[in-house]
Structure 1
Amino acid sequence: MTTNPYAGSPFSYVAEPAAAPYAIVELMPGAHNLCEYVRLAAGERVLLMMEHTVDPVVVQAIAAAAALRDADVRILSVPPFSAGGWDREAALPIETAAFHEADVVISGTWWGEVHTAPLFFDQIAARSVRFLSLHMTATAGALLTGARLPVPVFHTLVAVALRRLSGASSIRVTSARGTDLTFSGVTFEDAGPDGLRPGDWRPFPYGGVNFWPTGTEGVLVVEDSTVTGVPEEPLRVTLEGNLVRKIEGGAAAGQLRRYAPGGFYMRHALFGLNPKVRVAGGTQFEREKHAGAFYCGLDGLTDGVPVTTGPGFAHCDCQVDRPTVIVDGETFVERGRLLLLDEPEVREVAARFGPPEVILDDNPVMILPRRYTGIR
């Protein structure tokens, strides 16, 4: 596998292994759940916007699942998107025109279209399109693992998590490698009870609960990031007042500073909820969704200040695989173990699809059997 010189992770879809043609049979449960999550209905105009390097078997599986629902499917193969700010002048006229005519967009990009102004969140909301994004996850591995978790189980995990987290005055995230962050003034995203609504953008496989802090204090020790990959030596980011004050750690620190010479702030963060998402072998945007994982997005300052209404053009997502999370003094995640997986309400919903101890087991090496994936 080709890797970038400073990381132990792939740098684009071209570095991902190809799936065998017959693998499409095993990808269909995940593709089915994708359509369930996006609430795809007969007759809707569906745009599959896939980078040239996405595995054709993955594209075929998603297109076939959508066509089976009698959707009007179009497939647009596009050049790879650049990281935020790396090609900020890109107008994307073809992609934008196609996106404007769709009811549902299913996007397979590595860096993510939300790094670009023409397809940013405000444009998605203005068009009332339902936008499902497979950031680094338009892969056979992602459809075979995290996408197999039944949709109602994920919705229940989100509902229970939001009841516990919304209104929290203090959230502390620590890790064995030295991360120690405290968030305050947090606002959690209203994910909706039944999947995507017009104007929504969501990642897939479904993974977690997202929040925006107004206060972040402490040190983030980056285990993986979209800018640096896996750092060669500890990469320490110090935050005060929600702003990045110091970046230390060899070559990776230099890369991160060059990415946003004007500085960073803490834009958002997420707790992973999906026990079937891969850890070993998964890209960062898979691992961030694993139950008990934590990631946060540092964004570039605009003229020295945070601007949340548009792209910062220097967004860097940072991963912590096995944190401990304390919410107002109570443990929410213990060394990477999401305690909500043991909640009776969650286990009751999981039992509708199979043994809860199988469906909610957070060992991602054990693939969920297709009869427990929600297909009927």
Structure 2
Amino acid sequence: MLKGKASIKGKPSFTSPPLIEKTPPRCPPMVDIKSADDLIPYLDEVAKRPYNHGLHAGWDLQPGERVLLRVDNWHDPMVIEACKKILEKYNTNYEVKMVDKGPIIRWKGHDEVDYYLARTKELAEWMDEWEKMEEEGEYDKLLWGYGGPVLRDTNIKIQRMPFITPELTATPAHTIPYEIIDAIDKWTWNKIRHAKRIRIQDPEGTDLSYTNHDEYYDSKREFYNPDLVERFWKGNKSFGKTYLPGHVLGRPWLYHPKEDATGVIAGTTNHIGPVPWIQLEVDKGKITQINEGGEFGEKLRKLKSETDHLKYPGFPDEGLFRWWEASIGTNPHIHRPRQGFLNGWLNCLYERMRSGVIHIGFGTIISSSAEREAAKMGLPVGHWHVHLYFPTMTAEMMDGSTETIIKDGHLLALDDPGVRDIAAQFGDPDILLSESWIPAVPGLNMEGDYWKHYANDPEDWVMTELNICEHYHPLFMKMVGADPKHCNNPLWHTANVADACSCGHHH
């Protein structure tokens, strides 16, 4: 049952915006792209980046390599053309697999419930298809998808294809030197794996604490426990034994009987889009109550009631609604799409990779052997999300000290002297390690009433925000109190436009 508003503990209430001075909004300018050739400098950097199994686009293209580029009709044709050009430039033997996904969908945030019930099946089919391609040996590398696990215990290499539109391609997220984002990943992973207990808080209402059990890890806490990896990632153990670049795991993608996470998860966004404020109550890792959330909340409550009695492989007890994910984005230059937002692939999935953003996941562990086993048993499988844009993550470390890993949405790896020394080899660390995008949330980090202007219908505000940022960038930056230096960030500079930012304005 949906609780009345007055009975819900932990609902945000602010007398003034708590982050207006600490974490003011900012939005990068739109880069003016007129042709596929304008995208080549960005893809050229991706082509040279070393391969990784994570979410950082790194294609490591080699002459003569047999490459399959998998795209669909939701990708912008200009981007597909640019990808072909870069594959030709590096003398690969490539093929393009074009998939017809049907009409481009205009999303609502509550669509995540239905989408991920179906998406999980699609990802399992991808795994099967990749295994077949591995056996057939026709390709050396697949450029395919931009989310979810990939096979790693194979000769064939699978890398991401996150380039949906020119806007999501022409960004310093893909030109920042790999050495920098690799250092950010490693800093974050080292903090997590040496943490004994972790607490995540967020001004939208999340307050969740959990033990980072010794049993999750091997004896050196270098990798995850091989017995648990075998249970949850059979056939893909190289993937399951460690962190995911660009998507560092704040909690292992595993279960064991001692799960003790307790608290609440709350927010206004999932992978698909904004949703009315929702709160999930958690006890010993299990979602026990879902409060508010509009239609998203209604769909989750219905699914929960239908699955609470079911036994899932690898789960400590009955029920589908179990928390398993608190993944941390690590790229400071990821931003929310503006052009075409909430259409097709242009949803909130991409933005989860921005440094300091945590996305919470609950349900079955995506593409794990346990999830695939559950699907074969005919059980409903899938997982769902709540995004945290201003989280603070603190940890009690193994040596007894307390460390802050994220503060108000700012990943502290960006301030680490070692990371900054690496960045200094390539440019100004203050520029390379500053977030390009911080969402504007009325009542949190800008003027306004959190409930009246945002949390009851966040999509309405977000669409307005993105429209102004896209078409009236200088005005937007002034309206939300952003420091103008972020508008003139040279990483977003467009060639041949003297003394102007990428939006073409002088300000």
Q: TM-score range by the shorter chain?
A: 0.7 to 0.9
CA distance in 2, matches of 1:218, 1:88: 27
The amino acid that maps onto 1:159 is K
Q: How far apart are 1:35 and its partner, in Å?
A: 4.6
**One-letter identity of the residue aligned with 2:491:** L
Separation in structure 1 between the aligned mates of residue 182 and residue 161 of structure 2, nearest angstrom: 18
CA contact (8 A) 2:36 2:79 kept: no
Match of 1:323 in 2: 391
What letter corresponds to residue 43 of structure 1 in structure 2?
G
Choose which of 370, 389, 395 in structure 2 pairs with 1:307. Answer: 370
- Alpha-carbon separation, structure 1, partners of 2:237 and 2:290: 39
**Are residue 335 (structure 1) and residue 408 (structure 2) matched?**
yes
1:105 lines up with 2:142 in the alignment: yes
Structure 2 counterpart SS, 1:74: strand
1:29 to 42, 49, 55: 42
Of 166, 175, 185, 2:212 maps to 185
Judge conservation of contact 2:79–2:165 (CA < 8 Å) in 1: yes
Deviation at 1:276, TM superposition (A): 0.8
Note the alpha carbon deviations across 1:241-287, whole angstroms, 9 max, x for none.
22211111132211223456423222322112111111474742222
Does the CA contact (< 8 Å) of 1:275 and 1:290 recur in 2? yes
Q: Which amino acid aligns with 1:106?
A: L
Structure with the bigger RCO (C-alpha within 8 Å, sep 6+) is 2
* Match of residue 282 from structure 2: 239
Q: Which stretch shows the higher mean deviation, 322-331 or 62-71?
A: 62-71
Structure with a larger share of its residues in strand: 1
Instruction: Identify if the C-alpha distance between structure 1 residues 243 and 102 changes in structure 2 by more than 3 Å, giving closer, same or farther.
Output: farther
Give 2:118's aligned amino acid: W
**1:284 maps to 2:329:** no
Partner of 1:265: 322
| Aligned partners of 2:74 and 2:164 also within 8 Å | no
- Corresponding residue for residue 345 of structure 1: 418
- Equivalent position amino acid for 1:139 in 2: T
Correspondence list, 1:1-376, <5 A: 21-22=34-35, 24-26=37-39, 28-33=41-46, 35-38=48-51, 39-80=60-101, 83-86=115-118, 101-108=138-145, 112=147, 114=148, 121=150, 124-134=151-161, 138-145=164-171, 146-185=173-212, 207-210=246-249, 211-212=251-252, 214=255, 215=259, 216-226=261-271, 229-232=273-276, 234-249=277-292, 250-258=294-302, 261-262=306-307, 263-279=320-336, 281=338, 283-300=347-364, 307=370, 313-328=381-396, 329-364=402-437, 366=489, 368-369=491-492
Specify the alignment match of 2:482 in structure 1: none
Contact 2:182–2:245 under 8 Å retained in 1: no
Q: How far apart are the structure 2 equivalents of 1:275 and 1:107?
A: 23
TM-score, normalized by length of structure 2? 0.57
Paired with 1:54 and 1:61, the residues of 2 have a C-alpha distance of 12
TM-score (norm 1): 0.74
Bigger mean CA deviation after superposition, 58-67 or 325-334: 58-67
8 Å Cα contact 1:47-1:98 kept in structure 2? no
Change (3 A) 1:45 1:346: same
Structure 2: distance between partners of 1:76 and 1:148: 26
CA distance in 1, matches of 2:78, 2:248: 30
- In the TM superposition, structure 1's runs of 4+ consecutive aligned residues that sit over 4 Å from their partners are 87-100, 186-191, 197-201, 308-312
Q: Counterparts of 1:259 and 1:149 in 2: how far apart (Å)? A: 41
Please report how far the alpha carbon of residue 53 of structure 1 lies from its aligned counterpart in structure 2 after TM superposition: 1.4
> Gapped runs of 5+ residues in structure 2?
1-29, 52-59, 103-113, 225-235, 308-319, 339-345, 397-401, 438-486, 495-507
What stretches of structure 1 of length at least 5 have no aligned partner? 1-16, 115-119, 192-196, 372-376
Mapped partners of 1:259, 1:43: distance in 2: 49
Percent sequence identity is: 20
Q: Distance in 1 between matches of 2:408 and 2:187?
A: 20
Deviation of 1:88 (Å): 6.7
Residues 226, 339 of structure 1: alpha-carbon distance in 2 compared, 3 angstrom cutoff: closer
Q: Which residue number in structure 2 is paired with residue 9 of structure 1?
A: none
Contact 1:46–1:103 (CA under 8 A) maintained in structure 2: yes
Aligned length: 331
Deviations 1:284-321 (A, max 9, x none): 2222111111112212499xxx9356577312232111
Once structures 1 and 2 are overlaid, which stretch shifts more, 165-174 or 180-189?
Answer: 180-189
The alpha carbon displacement at 1:167 in A equals 2.4
| Amino acid paired to 2:278 | L
Secondary structure in 1 matching 2:118:
coil
